[in-house]
Amino acid sequence: MHHEVREEGGTVIVAFEGEIDLEHSPKAREVLLECVGRARPVLVDLSGVEYIDSSGVASLVEALQQAKGGGSSLALASVSPSAMRVLELARLDKVFTIIASVAEGLDGGA
Amino acid sequence: MTREQPTTTGAPPGLAGKAEEFSGPFALLADMTRRFADSLELTPALVTALESIVSQVGAEAGSLWLVEPAAREIVCEASVGPSEIAGLRLSLDQGIVGRCVRENACQSVLDVSKDPAFAKSVDEGSGMVTRSLLCAPMSGADGAIGAIELVNRMEGDGCFTVSDLNVLEVLASSASLALANARMATAAAEHKRVQRELELAAEIQRALLPAVDSPGFPIHALNVPARTVSGDFFDFLELPGGRIAFCLGDVSGKGMNAALLMAKTASLFRCLSKTIDSPGRLLAVINDELADTASRGMFVTMAAGIYEPETGGLVLANAGHEPPLYHPREGGFEPIEALEPPLGIATGLLPPEGYPESRIELNGGNLFVFSDGLTEAFGQDGEQLGAAGLERIFEEFSEASIHDCVEGVMSRVSSLEHRDDLTLLGIEDSRASATRSSDSVELLLVHRFEAIAKELSGMRKALAEALAAAGADESIRTDIVMAVDEACQNVIRHAYSGKPPGDVELTLEQRNAEVTVWLRDFAPPVDPACLDQGRDLADVRPGGLGTRFMKELMDDVSFAEPPEGGGNLLRLVKRLS
């Protein structure tokens, strides 16, 4: 798993690539919490994520809860079909704000 | 044969007294006993023994006789003296030697002219004049097997002494032992040869039975011979158009005769069933062939049929065989009785269309054809099972595939006391078995790895590839991989929690349109109830999702019986369609 964090127009954009599984979810969690800690809207770019498991989803849930608790927001962008399947399975597709792409999120001022 | 002879070269150290060589009768007996023990061929040793005792005692002649029980005769095996009488035969009722054998007791006759039993014919043949006789029997476990006879003491007053008799008796005992041993060795060698030939015959017989049927085949059969070779047989073979010809027969009698007739009948069936479309006519042709050529008094009971897996219907003809049983899916049993005689007894008894045929629709049920060895096996109560007892055993396996049913019933019956060959052939309605899970299990993958997070990616890749090769479509592959991944996480995070990680062994099997993943770990047993503790999905919190995922993604997730050697075994099942 690789990740890249950048800021654009006051939004923190974190892009993951590869597999967010039990091996890598601790790192993903650390990255996500750091992003959320910046107290700005966070956009999680999942376009390069081939696989995400329950531990990966748990990291996203924890980051979302932290963001909301801090009065900020967290949205998911470019969710691949397999990641979408996991979110649906966990009934989290209604909990997260899911947008088509990072560009759309920036235009809409997420 | 040469051998060290320590008994004549001095006593072993530690024995008191002066070493003395055997002399006189002792030397003779010691020497002869050794010769007997050493001989591979007995006759030369017996001739030497005879020569030695004749010279030791100082007799004019001597002879050694063996009994031929079947002919009630005694035959002279060897003779020493002025005339050769080897090969001479006497009735057991004749002569002093005959009396010796009959009574299994020593005979000492000082003047044969005064003993009416004396066989003058021997002297007439040999030209010798017999005056006195000494005769000792050689005996085995079943009485006398022969005798050694000495004629005319040349020294002293011409009368044999008690000490002569003693020496002769001891020598005769020693010779008896040697003879008995030699006969036993011959019998053992013969037994071994016959056993080897029987085993060869059994191998040929097994080759006559059809090769192992493929998984999911609607017919399965087994034969357990009571002896090395069997008089029972079965066969089945596929005909053009998907139909299957089958038969089961039982040859009267047991052993080699029955086995040979079985081989002939089975060959006839295999050959004729390819061209004769009707089981009734087929049995009639086999009947004529056997009646022409089979040995007197031997016959074959046989049921033969043709099964159509497509329709579940079959045609059956029965020549005097134990009634096959139809077992409908709803339960119960219907015997298909045979009214016609067995094969091989007479020709011309049947109408031109041959043996009558019955048509049976399986309708999801089974048909069992078996030999009477099964119904005649003894139940726990010491009574023969009969059809009713056998039906109870069939019922226990009525939910199993035909393969498991036949194997199960045969294993049960063969564990009971039984005296005859056991043969069972079962037919199932393949249309019913297609919906039932059959036991055609295909092993797709075995993947063993250390229970650490880093290994999961490789596991997912291997599993996805094996599923793709099995033809699972992408969405199903994704679901199975995810569920198994979650199950592995549970092993890593919970089962091995706080302990050095052991291994996980993943086995992927396909059974018809269903795949099963077995996940085995080597951790201390976990509480199977943990599968019920998946978190409520409405409760949005991190963690605890894995178990719910597994249950949502798979058709069945459950712990199986803990494997031998400890650990946990989780079973995850997914239907492919």
Mean pLDDT, residues B398-410 taken together:
88
pLDDT in the model for residue A6: 94
Q: Which of A33, A36, A52, A55 to mutate to test the interface with B (most CBs of B within 10 A)?
A: A55
| Mean pLDDT value of segment B136-145 | 85
**Closest-CA residue of chain B to A20:** B457
What does the alpha-carbon distance between residue B438 and residue A25 come to, in Å, rounded to a whole number?
42
Nearest CA to B491 out of B467, B468, B523, B464 is that of: B523
Q: What would the two tokens of residue A68 be? A: 């909301």
- Average pLDDT, integer, range B522-535: 74
3-class SS letters over B458-483: HHHHHHHHHHHHCCCCHHHHHHHHHH
Q: What is the pLDDT of residue B533?
A: 59
- Provide, as residue numbers in chain A, all residues whose Cβ is less than 8 Å from the Cβ of B485: 21-22, 53
Q: Per residue in A57-76, pLDDT tens?
A: 889 989 998 898 888 999 99
The larger pLDDT score, comparing residue B12 to residue B87, is at: B87
Residue B41 pLDDT > 70: no
Percentage of chain B exceeding pLDDT 70: 89
Q: Express each pLDDT in B444-483 by its tens digit.
A: 899 999 999 999 999 999 999 999 988 888 889 999 999 9
- Contact partners, residue B504, CB within 8 Å, separation at least 6: B448, B449, B450, B451, B459, B488, B491, B492, B519, B520, B521
Average pLDDT over residues B8-17: 51
Residue B3 pLDDT > 50 = no
A92 touches chain B (CB under 8 A): yes
Whether residues B460 and A91 touch (CB distance < 8 A) is answered with no
Chain A residues in contact with B543 by the CB 8 A cut-off are: 55, 58
The predicted structure's pLDDT at residue B9? 45
pLDDT, residue B537, reads 47
| Residue A26: closest C-alpha in chain B | B453
Tell me whether residues A55 and B489 touch, CB distance under 8 A: yes
Report how far residue B338's alpha carbon sits from residue B258's, in angstroms, rounded to the nearest whole number: 22
Q: Is the dihedral of CA B124, B128, B130, B131 positive or negative?
A: positive
Tell which of A53, A57, A60 to mutate to test the B interface (max B CBs under 10 Å): A53
* Pairing between β-strand B73-80 and β-strand B89-91 as defined by DSSP bridges: antiparallel
The answer on pLDDT for B46 being more than 60 is yes
Q: Report, as an integer, the average pLDDT of B501-514.
A: 88
The answer to whether residue B209 scores a pLDDT higher than 80 is: no
Closest Cα in chain A, distance from residue B518 (Å) = 20
For an interface test with B, the pick among A29, A89, A95, A96 (most B C-beta atoms closer than 10 Å) comes out as A89
Residue A21 contacts B where some CB pair is shorter than 8 Å: yes
* CB pair distance less than 8 Å for A61 and B549: no
Average pLDDT over residues B64-87: 87
Q: CA-to-CA distance for B196 and B482, rounded, in angstroms?
A: 59
| pLDDT value at residue B2 | 44
Of B478, B489, B545, which is closest to A22 when you measure between CB atoms? B489
Asked if A30 reaches chain B (Cβ–Cβ under 8 Å), the answer is: no
pLDDT at res. B296: 66
**A51 contact B CB<8A:** yes
Question: Which residues on chain A are in Cβ contact (under 8 Å) with B504?
Answer: none
The ipTM is 0.88
Of the candidates B159, B99, B117, the one whose C-alpha atom is nearest the C-alpha of residue B150 is: B159
The mean pLDDT value of chain A amounts to: 90
pLDDT band at A99 (very low <50, low <70, confident <90, very high): very high
Do A21 and B457 lie within an 8 Å CB cutoff? yes
* pLDDT of the residue at B438: 47
Cβ distance of A90 and B489 shorter than 8 Å:
no
Minimal Cβ distance to A58: which of B478, B545, B548: B545
pLDDT at B200 over 70: yes
Quick check: A53 and B548 CB within 8 A? Answer: no
Nearest-neighbour CA in chain B from A76: distance (Å): 17
Residue A63's closest chain B neighbor by CA? B542
pLDDT for position B538: 47
What is the percentage of chain A residues whose pLDDT exceeds 90? 62
B276 pLDDT band (50/70/90 cuts)?
very high
Least Cα separation, residue B509 to chain A (angstroms): 24
A86 contact residues in B (CB cutoff 8 A): 482, 549
**pLDDT tens per residue across span B355-392:** 999 999 998 899 999 998 899 999 888 888 888 999 99
Q: Which of A47-61, B117-131, B380-394, B527-541 has the lowest average pLDDT?
A: B527-541
Q: Which two tokens stand for residue B461?
A: 């890749």
CB contact under 8 A, B492 and A22: yes
Summarised one tens digit per residue, pLDDT across range B211-265 is 666 667 899 999 888 777 677 889 998 888 889 999 999 888 766 777 888 888 9
Check A92 against B540: CB less than 8 A apart.
yes
Buried b (16+ CB within 10 A) or exposed e, B540-570: eebeebbbbbbbbbbeebebeeeeeeebbbb
Q: What is the pLDDT of residue B94?
A: 86
Residues B201-214 have a mean pLDDT of 71
Residue located via tokens 């020593």: B106
Strongest mean pLDDT among B163-167, B396-400, B454-458? B454-458
Given B456, B493, B549, which is nearest A21 (Cβ)? B456
Contact A23 B453 (CB under 8 A): yes
Is residue B322 within 8 A of residue B300, CB to CB? The reply is no
What percent of chain B stands above pLDDT 90? 30
Kindly tell me if the per-residue pLDDT of B342 is higher than 60: yes
Chain B interface, Cβ < 8 Å to A? 453-454, 456-457, 460, 478-479, 482, 485-486, 489, 492-493, 537-538, 540-543, 545-546, 548-549, 552-553
B456, B546, B548 ranked by CB distance to A23: nearest: B456
Give me the residue label for tokens 């700005």: A40
Is residue B22 predicted with pLDDT exceeding 90? no
Search chain B and give the residue with CA nearest A61: B542
Contact check, Cβ <8 Å, A95/B540: yes
| Distance from the A81 Cα atom to the nearest Cα atom in chain B, whole angstroms | 10
Q: Which residue of A has its CA nearest to B455?
A: A23
Residues of A in contact with B479 (CB under 8 A): 85
* Residue that is written with structure tokens 């997070």 in the block: B453
Whether residue A61 and residue B548 make contact (CB cut-off 8 A), yes or no, is: no
Residue B272, pLDDT above cutoff 70: yes
Handedness of CA B251, B254, B255, B257 (dihedral sign): negative
For A17-39, what is each residue's pLDDT tens digit?
999 999 999 999 999 999 999 98
Check residue B532 and give its pLDDT.
Answer: 67
Whether the per-residue pLDDT at B14 is higher than 60: the answer is no
Neighbours of B257 (CB within 10 A): 17
Q: Calculate mean pLDDT across residues B525-535.
A: 70
Query: B478 and A85: CB-CB below 8 Å?
Result: yes
Nearest to B425 by CA among B232, B257, B263: B232
Instruction: With a cut of 50, say whether residue B352 has pLDDT above it.
Output: yes
Tell me how crowded residue B308 is: count the other CB atoms within 10 A of its CB: 17
Model confidence at B117, pLDDT cuts 50, 70, 90, reads: confident
Cβ pair A23:B454 closer than 8 A: yes
The predicted model gives B557-565 an average pLDDT of 77
Whether B412 has a pLDDT exceeding 80, the answer reads yes
* pLDDT band, residue B493 (cuts 50/70/90): confident
Question: Mean pLDDT over residues B81-85, rounded?
Answer: 84
Render pLDDT for B541-560 as a digit per residue (tens, 0 to 9). 445 678 888 888 998 888 87
State the nearest Cα–Cα gap between A47 and chain B, in angstroms.
17
